[in-house]
Amino acid sequence: MGMFGRMVVGVLPIMPRFMVGWVAKRYVAGKTIDSAVSTMLEMGKKEGCCFTVDVLGEEISSIEEADFFLQEYIRVIDAIVEHQLDANISIKPTAFGLLIDPDIAYKNIQELLTKAAKHDIFVRFDMEDHRVTQTTIDMLLKMHELELNNVGIVLQARLFRTLDDIQTICDTLDVNADFRICKGIYLESSEIAHTEYHRINNGFSEALELMLKNGSYCGIATHDKPVIKDSLIQLRNMGMMPDKPDPRKNAGPNRKMKGPGYEFQMLLGVRGELRRRLLKDGHKVRVYIPFGEKWYEYSHRRLRENPDIAWHVTKALFMPWSNRR
């Protein structure tokens, strides 16, 4: 499959844009805020899920571009408030200038968090590749120092450093520690990361265990059935379940618009049947809603970074009935 994935990536540059667009439609909620809002209103009404919104785009090449992301996210916050959506936002610090001018990135992100805090909206720092792991964590801790507590971070199960990072963040932020744990989309080198499926899954399980023991809020971001099964067992062992207040003595107060100490999170368009089953069982499930003009670049980049995703694209092309949200 790895070779097959790489073949698909090879033909990607000559794949007609409309074809990439047709596949991307399943994973991207359109180009505009209006299209993202329609997607959320429709899905929220039909399924009862909640959302986190991502403006497509990441590492920028000039600091001026950072302003576009700041203004667009401000418009997203206004739209969440106007439509009373059960939604928060996910941002990539490099899109705000972290790799070009960290001072400006801090200023931009502080402004965004302040605006979000006024409306009780939570902000998640997505985690990008290893070049910015530490600086993203530093930014999280700095924002909490400024009493902007409406922000949490993503950690990647594949990285060797993740357990240490969890402990540092929990020791520093205590009941305000709020994580999303995922496997990690960036294929990092074996010097710093697990590269095998079972080891990454073990890393996920250990990371979740440590987060739960520390009383943190946990967004469990995966579509992998064995990982979900293991997570459900861990939650049950902690006495955590849907529609029951978080029983952990060291957990913080119940958070507005959040689950009882945990929630599941999935990407738009991926494993809808699994998402609906978790919702039916009463779990809080948050859907990641990417939108924006950069859908084409996003689709290409994701494919280049992780050729295994090409398999899902190919399946959608040859089995179009499988291309449903």
Kindly list the distances between the CA atom of residue 264 and the CA atoms of 162, 166, 208, 216, 235, in Å, as whole numbers in the listed order.
19, 19, 12, 14, 12
Of the listed 54, 124, 126, 165, which one is catalytic? Answer: 126
224 binds ligand FDA (CB under 6 A): yes
Q: Which of 271, 300, 301, 325 binds ligand FDA (CB under 6 A)?
A: 271
221 binds ligand FDA (CB under 6 A): yes
Of the listed 124, 158, 180, 275, which one is catalytic? Answer: 180
> Active-site residue 255, yes or no?
no
179 binds ligand FDA (CB under 6 A): no
Burial per residue of 38-77, b for 16 or more beta-carbon CB atoms within 10 angstroms, e otherwise: ebbeebbeeeebbbbbbbbbbbbeeeeebeebbebbeebb
With CB under 6 A, what is the number of residues at the site for ligand FDA?
A: 22
CB-CB contact of 291 with 55 (8 Å): yes
Q: How far apart are CA 252 and CA 246, in angstroms?
A: 9
Q: Which of 95, 108, 152, 183 binds ligand FDA (CB under 6 A)?
A: 183
Nearer to ligand FDA, 221 or 240 (CB): 221
In eight-state DSSP terms, residue 239 is: T
Structure tokens at 38: 């329609």
> Active-site residue 230, yes or no?
no
Nearer to ligand FDA, 174 or 209 (CB): 209
Stretch in the footprint of ligand FDA (CB under 6 A) among 132-140, 168-176, 251-259, 261-269? 261-269
259 binds ligand FDA (CB under 6 A): no
The minimum distance between CB 321 and ligand FDA, in angstroms, equals 15
Kindly list the distances between the CA atom of residue 73 and the CA atoms of 97, 212, 237, in Å, as whole numbers in the listed order.
14, 30, 38
Amino acid at position 30, single letter: G
Kindly list the distances between the CA atom of residue 164 and the CA atoms of 170, 226, 245, in Å, as whole numbers in the listed order.
10, 24, 28
The minimum distance between CB 74 and ligand FDA, in angstroms, equals 21
CB-CB contact of 41 with 83 (8 Å): yes
Stretch in the footprint of ligand FDA (CB under 6 A) among 39-47, 159-167, 216-224, 237-245? 216-224
Structure tokens at 108: 């931009």
**Per-residue x/- marks for ligand FDA, 274-293, CB under 6 A?**
--------------x-----
175 binds ligand FDA (CB under 6 A): no
Place of tokens 């302003």: 67
CB-CB contact of 211 with 218 (8 Å): yes
**Per-residue x/- marks for ligand FDA, 118-157, CB under 6 A?**
--------xx--------------------------x-x-
C-beta atoms surrounding 33 within 10 Å: 19
List CB contacts of 151: < 8 A, sequence separation 6 or more.
Answer: 113, 122, 123, 124, 125, 140, 143, 144, 178
C-beta atoms surrounding 198 within 10 Å: 9
The minimum distance between CB 284 and ligand FDA, in angstroms, equals 13
Structure tokens at 273: 């049947």
22 binds ligand FDA (CB under 6 A): no
**Per-residue x/- marks for ligand FDA, 185-214, CB under 6 A?**
xx----------------------------
Active-site annotation, residues: 126, 180
Binding site for ligand FDA (CB under 6 A): 126-127, 154, 156, 182-186, 221-224, 227, 265-267, 270-271, 288, 309, 312
